[in-house]
Each structure stands twice: as C-alpha cells, then as structure tokens.
A and B are shown apart, each in its own frame.
Chain A
C-alpha cells in the first residue's frame, strides 16, 4: 500500500530520480576523464624522470669511452736516461722520461721560447706520457738511442677541448685552455697528430688524480671481491635461515622474535649497517679498514633479509604434496628438505640472491663508514687489500672539481647500471625459465 503511494508521489513530482542522475552525468563524466588524466600524468612523469635521468647520464658520459691522443716523436736519448750505459733496471726506472717528452714537444714547436709558454706547451700531453715511455723502455732496452713515434694521451683539458666542452669563442680568462694552446692543437690537428681513440685506460687503470689516467678497474675489482665475500656468506646463511624458519621452526616466541627482526632489518637504513661495521668489525675485532672483506660482511648483514624473505617465498611455493610424498616413502624431514623441496625452490632462491647482490653492488653509504672511500691507486688483488667499490668511486669522482671527471663519473655510472641491468635480467630470465606453476 505505502509502496504504491510513494511511487505515485514520485511520479507526480517535477523531478524523477533518473533526471537528477542525468543532470549530474556531465560533471561525473568530466570527473572520470580528469581522474584518468591525473593517472596518465603521474605515469608520464615517472617515465619522464626515468628518461631524463638516463639521457643526462648517457649524454654526459658517452664520450668518456674515447680519449684524445697526440702523436709525438721521442728521441730516447741514451745520454739522458742511461749516461753510464749499464742498463741497470733501477736506474732506468728512475730516469727522467718527462724530460724526453718535453724535449720532443720543443722540437715539434721550435718557435716556443718563453718559459711560461713552454710550460703551457708541456701541458698539452698528459703526465701519463712519461710513464708510458718508461714502461716501453724498461720492457725493451734496445729502444734506448732510437727515435720512437708514440701516441700519448692528451691532457684532460685538451681532451675536453677536443670533445667540444670548452667554448673556443669565450674569453681566454674564462677557460683553462689558453689561446696559444688552442693554436698549437690546431697545428697538431692539421698535421694529423691528434686522434680520438678508444679509451682503454678507463677500463684497465685504477683511480688517479689526472682524469685522463683514471680508470674503473680498481673499483671494479674491489666491487668484485666485496660481492664474492657477500655472496659466499649471505647465500648459505640466508638459505639456511629461510629453510629453518619456513620448514622446521616451531611456532614460539623465539621464532616470532626472529621474524620480526628480519622484517625490521629489511627496512633499517643502510648507513646504520655501516655504523655497525665500524663499531663491531673494525673497532672491536680490529679488522682492516677499507678492505673488501669488511665491506662484504656489512653488505651480507644488509642483504640477508632480502635473501631470507625471497627464499621463504620460494619454499612456500613448493606444494605440500611434494613433501607429503617424500615423507610417505620414508624420507626424514631433513632428507625431504634437501633432496626434494630445496631443488624445487632453488630457482626462486637464486633469483632472490641475485636481486640482493644487485642491491649490494649499488650500495655505497655503509661502505663510506668503513673507510672504503679512500683514494686508492693500486688495483686490489684480494679481499684484504685496501680498495674502493664502483658506487663509491662514482661518489669520489662526482666530488672532483675537474670538468673531465663529470664525464668519467657518468661513464662509470653507465658501467654500473649495465651490470645492474644484466644482473636483474638474469634474475628475470631465471624466474621465467624455471618458474613452475603447481
């Protein structure tokens, strides 16, 4: 009775519900479109940031893979480097090769007389030229007395000029390459004595104060040793912990505490692990500063939660029927674990480990704390030698004032990103290849 009454009322009124709805439709549709556009803008901005990040790194860094070389003729004057003619290796390694390089620069530009000009002339080539010459002479004593044609690296400022980073038109006092040097370089270019070549030094040398002699091999070796230590420790420990927590641990207070701890450790700022490393490993146990061993230990503690969480997820995805079947034919729980569950969970565990390693490879803050931030020229030969790692090398170069280091930094970042992308790609492939749906 009441129902029909209210229906009558509605129909007799001026506005029906459908009219109200229709009246509002326009603004509701507009709101819908707006909302969708906000979403598109958000994704667009995220992707734009990614694009800007990568393109600025690449555009700043791609030229670091080539380096300007200058061809010079050096007369290896026996009277200058080995006056006694005895060819004693110690004397040869101590001789003044810089003088020979300078002499060859003077013969190329005989018109340069003033002392200040000469000094500028010498600065066209890198200080590395004399090391290069020394190495050649020590390796082959017969070169003494001959005139050699050498391609030596140009100074970093000249390199910047050749790569177009220095504006030739700007005021002379504003740039570090002077007009005379530009004129000399132009003359060398016209004689085909200047060439850009693949920068092998960048991949084979350690750190250096001179950008043209600096390379990433030292840092890369340091990263390698650090990661090896991290992998050797964190993989077995992480897998063992995951196996225990997922398969064997009774539900009690102790395991609850462990679980809460692991979850919290996963979110502790990395620098706090650095403080732990400094206080415990270096000051308490007296381990050496700057060593990949300590870096590896700190990174192990940092990546363990990642590996444990990933490994537990992998174990969880193995269906109980596998375990029940193994137990049913008489295997002990441990045997079931080792022979049946673990092999099936292994791809997932490896994926997690690789992702953890990629994290460790990019990490730098805790390593600053344990002294891996030192200026180290020598290439580390083991986990005990002082060394630095790629991200810290990037940090060090980013702090250097020379223009040429901007380029080196970007190039080092490109190498680091390449490694990270490769590691993540392997992880994805592993997951795709071995992932099983039960």
Chain B
C-alpha cells in the first residue's frame, strides 16, 4: 500500500493538477469524519441514547462507517491515479496521425514527452506543429475528462459505501469486531512487507541477472579471470570486447574482507573479554559506548578517513622500508573497514560472554584456575558458537560494505593476493557500473545486477549460518 501511495503521490505532481486532487483527498477526509459523526449518532439512536444497549462502544460504529466511507474510495483513487497516465498516453497515441504512430518506440517516446511538455507549458524539443498541438489538446481534454470522472466516481463510492455502512448499524451490529478485523488486516499487511521486500529484492536482481546470463554464460561469469566491463559502443572499436569474469572481483572482496577481519576479530574479541571480565563497572560504562560510536559513524566518513589519512600513511611507511605501495591499496581499505567492524565483533562477543553462567566461572576458580585460564579454557569454549556467529555476521557486513571501498579501493580488476596493490570489489563495481549515464539494459548495467545477486546470495548464506550457529548453541548452559 505504501508503494501505491508513493506512486500516486508522484503522479499527482506529474499530472500537474495536484491542487485539484489534493482537494479531492481533503474532501474525502472530511466526508470520512462526517461519516464517523453520523455513524456514532445513528448508533446512539439505535440504542435509545444509551451506549449500554449497543453491542460495541459508539465510537466503533463511527469508525466502522468512516472506514467504509473512506477506504474503498481511497483505493479506487490510488488505482486511478496510478493507471491514468498510461491509459491516457495510450489513447493519445492511438489518436495520432499514422505517420507519427509508425515510428520507432524511442522516437515515439520523444513525441509523447513533447506533448506532455506542451501541455504543462515547458519548452519542447521540436517546433510545435498542428499535429502536436492537436495531440496536446487531445491529451489535455482526456486529462480533464478523466479527472472529472475520478471526482464523480470517488465521491459517489464514498457516499454509497458510507450510506450502506450507515444503514447496517443496529443495536446488535458487531461493529467492534468488524473494525478490529480490518485493523488486523492492516497489521498483517504491514508484517508481510518484509516478505514483499525480500521477494522484491530476489525478483528484481534475479530478473536482470537472467537477462545478463543470456549474453554472458554463467560459467564465464563465475570462473572467468578477466573483468573489463567496457563493451564496445561501435562494432569496429578495438580492445573493448567486454569481459565479465568475476573471479578478480571475488578475490579482491575476499582480500579486503580478510584484512578487515584480521584487524577486527582480535581487537574486538579482546576488548569484549576485557570489558566483560576484567574492567571495573565505571570503565566499562565509559569505554563500551565509546567503542560503539565506531559503529555509528557513517561509512562515507570512514571512506574519507581512509583516503585522507590512512592511505597516505601506509604509502609513506611502505616508502620508508622500500616497498612500492599503491595509493589505493587493499591494505588501507581493509584496515579502515576493520576499524568499522570492531564494535560489531566486540558487542556480539560481549553478549555471548556475558551469557555464560557465573557457575562455570566459579567452578573454574574453585579448581584453582587463574582468571586468564578460566577465560581461555572455560568461558571462551563455552561462548565460541556465539562468537563464531558474530564473526560470520561481521564478515557478511565486510563483504557488503560499499562506501569505504568505493572511495578507498581501486577500480581496475586485479587478480592478486598482495595487500599493497590496488584491487577492486564486487560492491565497487556495482556502483561504478550503475552510476554512469548508460541505458538500462546494456550488458554493463545488467552485470551489476548479476554481481548484486552474488552479493545477496553470499551474505544471505553467511547470515543464515551465523543465525543458525548462534541460535543452536545460545542457551546450552541455561
């Protein structure tokens, strides 16, 4: 519903008669409020002026009438506004002279745009001739007819539905159940948006990927060693045949994520252990929020930090010991990403370490173990599943992280394990392929969706494994 709402809000504006339609919405709202009032009044009358004679509270009868008056009309209104432009455009096209109608669809789109511009008084791309003017008039006429029809239909529907609802009100009418039923429907709808979102992601990514794999075989994409997505614009162009072997991207992503995990896991884990086992309550209450601030810093800030501070430092240090470090080295991006992930590892580990029952600690102390031995030999093994789960979640975060690598990692696909060289990642390529101004169905843009599919599948698998591990072993000692 909120998608529909958004679409029709947008269409209100594009139609350019937002005023009229918003007035219609207001009228609808006013009618609903009146319906509420009448519903309540009628219910009271049905109960001889006493609410105790009614099945439900009077306000439920009011709500019942108001919902019936408002919601069906609103749904029709939404559908109308969503589908109106397409239908009108179709009608205008069929009214155009044959010679214009038979041109290619791209140019037809231009003509339609010109007509729309003419209607809204903008500048058109061609000189206005009689045909165009006639089409524009036609468009405008259809538009006003449609709006008049919309107003009539919506208002009639509101009145009729409201009147029917009103006529149903009797003393024994179960208005509360009806209203609550509708409310439950709304709640269920809101909950299923999560499913719709997942479905939307899967379908949109899958759909474009299938189109991509029609051009490029799956095996080439998954196992090809060369990535250069520059497809030739002209047929005779040299050296830009376009290679879509994603292995260098996977390798680059793995390399940077690995560096990040090498930074984040030891630091995050040790700080979690220290904070939960050693530190005083006061130190913990200061240090824990400070560490968690690292997670709240936007990733674009980390990207800027990597470019401005970390990469030059690493390059200079490499220069001192005689190493040739690329200015967009994997090390810089990985290091900064590691800093970003520290709080994920530390707070997840903190939770599981705190969940280990005190009795286990006491038991170990009773046997004469030192605190460090207790932690290493008793608490750590007990918390290990949770820690592994947390690390896997952090890894999926690292793989999907975008802004840091877009700003600090390279663009050219380099199949190397040397952290001092520039590598590129899956997310970097998605951004570079999709932020340009190319047509949407070129192999290049479709490749981005194929990469997105890989990203989604891999992170999803990591998450499922992580959640499974965490859930399976979490309450082992309770």
Contacts and interface: CB of A to CB of B under 8 A. Distances in A.
Interface of A: 21, 28-29, 31-32, 34-36, 38-43, 45-47, 49-50, 52-53, 56-57, 60, 233, 236-238, 240-241, 243-245, 248-249, 255, 257-258, 261-265, 267-273, 275-276, 278-281, 283-285, 287-288, 291, 293, 297, 300-301, 304-305, 308, 332, 334, 358, 361-365, 368-369, 371, 373, 383-384, 391-392, 394-395, 398-399, 406, 409-410, 413, 416-417, 420, 424
Interface of B: 2-3, 6-7, 9-10, 13, 176, 180, 183-184, 186-188, 190-195, 197-198, 200-201, 204-205, 207-208, 266-271, 273-275, 278-279, 287, 290-291, 293-294, 296-305, 307-309, 339, 342-343, 346, 368, 370-373, 375-376, 393, 396-397, 399-403, 406-407, 427, 430-431, 434-435, 440, 448-449, 452, 455-456, 459-460, 463-464, 467
A424 B297 CA distance: 11
Contacts of A399: 407
Contacts of A241: 187, 190-191, 193-194
A381 B71 CA distance: 30
Contact of A395 (B180, B275, B309, B407): B407
A39 B291 CA distance: 14
A42 B463 CA distance: 26
Contact of B402 (A32, A42, A271): A271
16 contacts: A32-B370, A32-B372, A46-B271, A53-B294, A56-B308, A57-B305, A258-B192, A261-B197, A264-B463, A271-B400, A273-B201, A276-B201, A305-B194, A368-B406, A368-B434, A395-B303
Given A257-B195, A267-B396, A43 B275 contact: yes
B400 A398 contact: no
A82 B370 CA distance: 90
Nearest to A273: B201
Given A39-B273, A420-B298, A275 B430 contact: yes
Given A241-B187, A269-B455, A56 B368 contact: no
Contacts of A297: 2-3, 6
Contact of B308 (A293, A391, A406, A416): A406
Contact of A237 (B2, B274, B278, B293): B2
A413 B301 CA distance: 7
Given A237-B193, A271-B400, A394-B300, A60 B198 contact: no
Nearest to B399: A269
A50 B430 contact: no
B344 to A, nearest CB: 11
Query: Which of B190, B191, B267, B427 has the most chain A CB within a 10 Å cutoff?
Result: B191
Contacts of B467: 263-264
Nearest to A373: B435
B372 A31 contact: yes
Contacts of B3: 281, 285, 297
7 interchain residue pairs of minimum CB distance? A269-B400, A39-B274, A362-B298, A279-B204, A42-B270, A240-B190, A244-B187
Given A35-B372, A395-B406, 4 more contacts: A42-B268, A249-B191, A269-B427, A368-B434
Contacts of B278: 36, 39
Contacts of A238: 190
A318 B72 CA distance: 36
Given A46-B342, A332-B180, A395-B403, A287 B200 contact: no
B402 A269 contact: yes
A334 B464 contact: no
B194 A308 contact: yes
A391 B407 CA distance: 13
Contacts of A39: 270-271, 273-274, 278
A332 B176 contact: yes
Contacts of B300: 362, 364, 391-392, 394-395, 398
Contacts of A268: 201, 400, 456, 459-460, 463
B460 A264 contact: yes
Task: Classify the secondary structure of A's interface with B.
Answer: helix
Contact of A272 (B10, B393, B400): B400
Contacts of B296: 358, 362, 420, 424
Contacts of B273: 39
Query: Which of A249, A362, A399 has the most chain B CB within a 10 Å cutoff?
Result: A362
A50 B191 contact: no
Contacts of A45: 267
A57 to B, nearest CB: 7
B10 A288 contact: yes
Contacts of A49: 294, 339, 342
Contacts of B183: 334
A398 B2 contact: no
Query: Which of B176, B296, B399, B435 has the most chain A CB within a 10 Å cutoff?
Result: B296
Given A240-B191, A272-B452, A420-B298, A43 B180 contact: no
Given A267-B459, A275-B430, A362 B299 contact: yes
A186 B370 CA distance: 69
Contacts of A47: 287, 290-291
Contacts of B368: 21
Contacts of A53: 294, 297, 301-302, 305, 339
A221 B324 CA distance: 44
B397 A267 contact: yes
Contact of B9 (A43, A293, A368): A293
A243 B434 contact: no
Contacts of B297: 53, 362, 417, 420
Nearest to A413: B301
A362 B201 CA distance: 22
A327 to B, nearest CB: 14
B375 A35 contact: yes
A343 B464 CA distance: 34
B291 A244 contact: no
A287 B346 contact: no
Nearest to B372: A35
Contacts of A28: 370, 373
Nearest to A361: B298
Given A43-B274, A398-B303, A406-B308, A275 B193 contact: no
Nearest to A38: B270
Contacts of A362: 296-301
Given A46-B342, A52-B309, A248-B187, A304 B403 contact: no
B156 to A, nearest CB: 28
A236 B273 CA distance: 39
Contact of B431 (A34, A265, A271, A410): A271
A70 B205 CA distance: 55
A261 B293 contact: no
A365 B191 CA distance: 26
Contacts of A308: 194
B335 to A, nearest CB: 9
B372 A36 contact: yes
B184 A248 contact: yes
A424 B191 CA distance: 26
Contacts of B449: 275, 279
Nearest to B266: A42
Contacts of B268: 42, 46
Contacts of A406: 308
A32 B38 CA distance: 78
